[in-house]
Chains A and B, each alone.
Chain A
Amino acid sequence: MKSLEELQKIKERALQRRKLSGEGTRARIIVAMGTCGIAAGARDTMAAILKTLEEKKITDVTVTQTGCMGLCEYEPIVQVKVGEEDLITYGHIDVNRVPELIEKHLIGGEPMEAWIIQPSS
């Protein structure tokens, strides 16, 4: 890193990438993988997500991870962002809930209302 300009360029690139435009990415799934998440089964959830996407031959969805967002009692937490829609945060997404989540939200386009952690009031 030689200059502030270089840092700015990386920042813009990263922001661009986040917007998901032009990379053949339609949606993003984020799995919380702090110690709390992993203890609650986030690794299995992550594996199930990857497996389900593969089985359903979905290739335009990126799966990333993040840390603990402070809602440890809701782990495993999975966030889903489809296109320009709001990021939706789901709680208690264990392996059994993964196929339905992907089927309904990612394929059907309808969020699973019952599993959503409501935004802070």
Chain B
Amino acid sequence: MVYRAHVLLSSAAEQSGEIEQALLDSLYNLNLQDEVQVLEVATLGNPRLEPQIVVYPEGIQYVKLTPENVQHIVEEHLYKGRLVEDLMYVEEPVEPLPAPSTKEIRVVLRNIGKIDPLNIEDYIAENGYQALAKALTEMTPEEVMEEMKISGLRGRGGAGFPTWLKWSFAQRASGDAKYVICNGDEGDPGAFMNRRVLEGDPHSVIEGMAIAAYVIGAEKGYFYVRAEYPIAINTLRVAIEQAREYGLLGENIFGSGFDFDIEIRMGAGAFVCGEETALMHSIEGKRGMPRTRPPFPAQSGLWQKPTNINNVESYANVPQILLKGGEWFASMGTEKSKGTKTFAIAGKVKRTGLVEVPLGITIREIVYDVGGGILNDKKFKAVQTGGPMGGCIPEQYLDMPVDYETLGKVGSIMGSGGFVVMDEETCMVDIARFFMEFVQDESCGKCVPCRVGTRRMLEILTDICEGRGKPGDIERLEELGEYIRKGSLCGLGQGAPNPVLSTIKYFRDEYEAHIYDKQCPAKVCRKLIEYKIDPDTCIGCTRCARNCPVNCISGEAKEVHVINPDVCIRCGICSQVCPVDAVHIY
């Protein structure tokens, strides 16, 4: 049937049943039922405007309706073709957008959002390249290293190795050529700290690399950036060209006799290439797989030459340390974890996004002050730090300081700065399964425990989530996790069991509920839940039955409806459209 007009009706409001009835009655009274189609939708947006409809083809939105003015709209708009202006939606004055009240300190991100990344002079105006000038003209490599030692900067890629020590190994190693590499292969799902630095302030990283090259005696640097960051790569390319033009890369920089230049290498998306030895294989054009260490890159790295490899954020800290002094940097953070760290806050918080906070800040401060608290004011359940190989930290550690050692103690890692917040509606077994699926997919396959073990762990977790869990599964997971951790070469395998082991440690009861009671306490795992209609609440409006995609709800109008659990796919649409909240999950 062809209709001349369509009315979208939001079923989100409590009164939407009456509105619908009024709409259908008025259409019928004017004999418009074959000309105008009424379509129910879950929501039309802004809940403050409910009950609301949108009339097409004009696309007019009528808001805050009553059954009486719905009748008026049908008569005027749909019958006579006149718009009802006083019921139409007018854009309300927007309340001023509040900026987050933060506990942020910006060191790495100091220039981002302030300067034009495509204009080197903007960076120079913010004291850009002053640190390189100072290092090259006033300081010996040893003096630079000493300043780095005082600062206490540790690797921001995750492992937290002291940066000055890494530099000193590469400096002492002998070789006819040496290299510096910047690891910009940021692959953790939901992490974009490095991307933001590369897109917003590429010169700070270039300057940091040049200083590192000066210290270890390298003339050549490589940027390894994943191809999924096209804007970052383009910005970086422009930045390198401009630095060459201004003589800040190239030969005899600042008349000091120091030569240095940088090339970009793009990663093809393999997660494991963020591991330093795999990354160097990838630059060399080989298959990106990790190798045994020692020899460490500082002795034998890229093309078997001494190589220093640091993360984007580590390098971006360097110019500030030289300009303001190691003492200044060390004044931020804790005894062993100095300075600031960027985190990508994701998950169930009000303000997701990228923040930079001093190390030693508590998890509570990050979640509630910086992140604005849990979405919809639900209850905090856990936070996963450090990307897919990090562990889940439960509520009891909310007041724990965030630093390298403390995170390690509770079974997680700093990683590159992922920070995924979970609320009470998150199933911890399902989360563990999700991350296991990721690492299983990204395992390069070199080490058998990682290749086969993660696969087995994923199968067990999937069984548990789908109601096939059996006694002994938890112990099996723990045992496998231990083997994988011990028997893998690189951080991917060594860290892969973390999400599973930490959730078993802190949320064992949830695993047991899945295995023994075949229940998902968070009501997430579809195979373990059932949607039921409460016969005392159901008003027989038929809405659930009409919206069910698999037609598994039966019942006559004005009578109680019933869901057939054998056909139901647990999509939850019935519970969304029910006007009286009669559909519950069991």
Contacts and interface: CB of A to CB of B under 8 A. Distances in A.
A73 B97 CA distance: 11
Contact of A14 (B93, B124, B352): B124
Given A3-B255, A10-B246, A114-B93, A67 B100 contact: no
B354 A67 contact: no
Interface stretch (B109-117, B480-488, B525-533): B109-117
Nearest to B123: A14
B121 interface: yes
A32 B231 CA distance: 13
B577 interface: no
Interface in A89-120: 91-92, 113-120
Contact of A115 (B97, B129, B247): B97
B119 A64 contact: yes
A10 B243 CA distance: 13
A3 B115 contact: no
A112 B352 CA distance: 26
B102 interface: yes
Contacts of B114: 66, 69
B116 A64 contact: yes
A67 B201 contact: yes
Interface string B197-238: 001110000000000000000000000000001011000000
B254 interface: yes
Interface residues of B, number: 52
Contacts of A65: 116-118
B248 A119 contact: no
B97 A72 contact: no
Contact of A72 (B98, B252, B353): B353
Given A1-B254, A65-B116, A34 B231 contact: yes
B281 interface: no
B117 A66 contact: yes
B463 interface: no
B90 interface: no
A10 to B, nearest CB: 5
Interface string B508-531: 000000000000000000000000
Contact of B113 (A38, A66, A118): A66
A70 to B, nearest CB: 5
Given A11-B125, A11-B130, A13-B121, 20 more contacts: A1-B254, A2-B254, A10-B121, A10-B124, A17-B121, A30-B116, A34-B231, A64-B116, A64-B119, A67-B196, A70-B109, A70-B113, A70-B196, A72-B354, A73-B352, A114-B96, A115-B97, A116-B96, A118-B99, A120-B99
